[in-house]
Chains A and B, each alone.
Chain A
Amino acid sequence: MPHINFNNNFPGIRSAMAYSPETAAPMGVLAEILLRSNDGLLAAERELIGMYVSYLNDCFYCNHSHGAIACIYLGGDTALIEQVKKDYTNAPISDELKSLLAIAAKVQQGGKFVTTEDIATAKATGATDKEIHDTVLIAATFCMFNRYVDGLATTTPTDMDSYPLRAKQIVDNGYGNHVFTNKQPI
């Protein structure tokens, strides 16, 4: 049960956003720019990084929401999604993405855990400054979203069929306050 009265029944972060639309607005803009781009990192890679950090932060709603979005971008490859979470070093993904997931995992612990060796490894695989920047910011941003979602105990949907429906809404329309001003998919 949520720690405060949100005055709505939306799932997860949507309930907190609807409660506080003024703070939700810049968060939506940030998510849209950071996650819905194929400039450098692909959108699928960006969502995998967000999903992975959410998994490490034990945030069920964010982990499964962004996993479902990544799954749509990756043509429904649920096995890949699970392997990235549980064993990314052996997953069929690029060495560059592996090196960036390693950086994201360090950021999840704390900014200072990222070492010059982690950065050098990523650059050796071809990661650019912008890709490294975006990886760190995505990981940091999900450390915010995960804490917002769980820190207020927002409602976590247990109907697993609902996650792909909300994911499709994001893939079709992007991030922003429309996710709670428009009709929920389920």
Chain B
Amino acid sequence: MAHINVEKNIPGIRSLVLFRPETGKPLYELAQVLLRGASILSEAERELIAAYVSYRNDCMFCMKSHAAAARCLFGAEKNLVDEVLNDMQQSNVSDKMKALLHIAGKVQILGKEVKPEDITAAGALGATDKEMHDTVLIAASFSMFNRYVDGLASFTPSDEAVYEEMGKRMAKGYVPPPSPKGE
């Protein structure tokens, strides 16, 4: 049960955004520009970083929903998502992507965990400044989203099919849910 009085059957961050739409709107705008806006990283790769960080933060709602979005966006290569969540270093993503996921994993712990050698290693594998910026910001923002969702104990559905549907919607983009009162 959520720590505050939110709509009971609405899952995760949607219930919180309905509780306070004024803060929800910029949160969704950040997700939209960060995960769907212009970037060298593909939308699928960005969702994978989000799912990976959420997994490391033990946030099941965010991990499952963003993994589902990543699978939609990867299409024929959707197995990469579960490979990364099971064992990132043994997965079949590119070495550059592994270096960026490694940086994301460090950011998930704390910003100062990222060392110059992590950046150098990613650069040597072809990662540009923009890709490293986006990786760090995605990891940082999911360190926020995960804490928001679990810090208020929002509803985490157990039915896996629910996440598949969420993933299809999220693959199209992030739009705040309409207020039930029609405001």
Contact = CB atoms under 8 A, between A and B. Distances in A.
Interface in A1-26: 3-5, 16, 19-20, 22-23, 25-26
A34 interface: yes
Contacts of B140: 143-148, 151
B33 to A, nearest CB: 5
Given A111-B148, A136-B151, A139-B151, A5 B129 contact: yes
Contacts of B3: 114, 116, 119, 132, 136
A110 B54 CA distance: 11
B88 interface: no
B111 A149 contact: yes
Interface in B39-98: 57-59
A19 B34 CA distance: 14
A165 interface: no
Given A3-B114, A147-B107, A151-B139, A26 B150 contact: no
A110 B58 contact: yes
Given A140-B147, A151-B103, 8 more contacts: A4-B129, A26-B26, A59-B111, A136-B147, A136-B148, A140-B151, A148-B140, A150-B111
B58 to A, nearest CB: 7
Contacts of B25: 29
A60 to B, nearest CB: 10
Interface string B16-47: 10011011011101100110011000000000
